[in-house]
Structure 1
Amino acid sequence: MIWLLDLDNTLVSRDDAFAAWAAAAVAAAGGSDADLAAIVAADGGGFAPKRDVARVIVDRLGGDADLDAVVEEFRAGIRDHVRVYDGVLDTLDVLRGAGHQVAVVTNGVSHQQRGKIERCGLGDHVDTVVVSGEEGVEKPDPRLIEIALERLGAADVDRRRVWMIGDAAHTDVAVGRAARTRTGWVSHGRSWTGGARPDVHAPTAREVIALAAEGHWRVPVQP
């Protein structure tokens, strides 16, 4: 089986990291709870344009009006605060120990995504990492999955043996469907509103992987 896994809010706590950085920045600037709420809301779970987020930060907290510098400041703050979710590294090791292949497939700029992976020690627990900012294409474009499979030496694999798992319906689940893989959604307790349901869903990546691996979808697992 091949496991293609999103990074942010799937394997690592990106939103928690942004919120932690924002809370410290608001406190340092003497801001309010309303300022913090506005900054977190502007981030849009990491999907909002970064300069738009920076503009809200400057409007709320003052300081440097160089939006690109503010973007780099909060990106660095995310890297400083990001953590891998409990049990994720063990889960990846179990998969690979059973002969499965594992890849991180993530949207984002190279230095940011690679920095999170290094911070969390993920690199030694997966077979390859594919970052959209390095490839010129991003989820939900299925070409990013094709790149991942090529790097794993599995370009021609039966797509029923491939799982794309992530927390975002419009990128992770959508790219899996576009590439004809199995799909798993990390819900974090949310209700599904994205149309046709993914093959598996659960609150955490560990639980999604466990459900997918347990069922195997009647397709034998091959090393």
Structure 2
Amino acid sequence: MTTPVVRSAAPTAVPDGPAHAVPAAARVSIALTGALLAGVLTSFGQAVPGLSSLANAAGPWFVVAGALCLLAGVRAGRAALPLAMVLGVVLLELMHVGYWATSNLRGFPDVLSITNPWVLLGVPAGLLAGAVAVSVRARDTRWRGPALGVTAAVLVGEGVRALLQVAATTGTVTWVVEILAGVAVLLVAVLTARTAGRRVLALGTGVVGSVGVLAVYLALGG
């Protein structure tokens, strides 16, 4: 008797890319929902001892907006950059909406107005957050250092401003930690730069940007 030949199964085609890739629409939806949630948590955080100062800080919101842009899957490119910048603005303004709605529901009247300085600042800050996210993710690493420098500048500038203007009523711990976090981000930007010129650019962006952020705060009168 002859031994029957066992035929192997036909090879299965391997799909391109991750098998469980999250659709772009889902990523954007998650980012938008995360922005609203950040605003909600900010309202509650202001009533928690030890977190109230952090909840009143703008720097963490900038970082969250940038992180949510990354979560949404922003990409480099001429068309992608303006879309990411617009997304950054939308995310920051949704944080305002979440904060406003939650605060009012909790019995703490809050007004959401287009003339609100924080709402107005959400536009340039959001544009910058989107641009930072694109630069961090881009394959071209030339702008990664300056992007991290901008993030560091927001944290350091606000921290210094708080030490100068509000530390007497809020304490200094939160602001010192924020400054140290900004310095750490700046060190990462400098140390990961591949050339001396890029290291100087990253450092200069962080230092000059910190002075600029501080100047804006002082001009607004706190």
Structure with more relative contact order (C-alpha pairs < 8 Å, separation 6 or more): 1
Q: Structure 2 length normalisation: TM-score?
A: 0.30
Q: Structure 1 length normalisation: TM-score?
A: 0.29
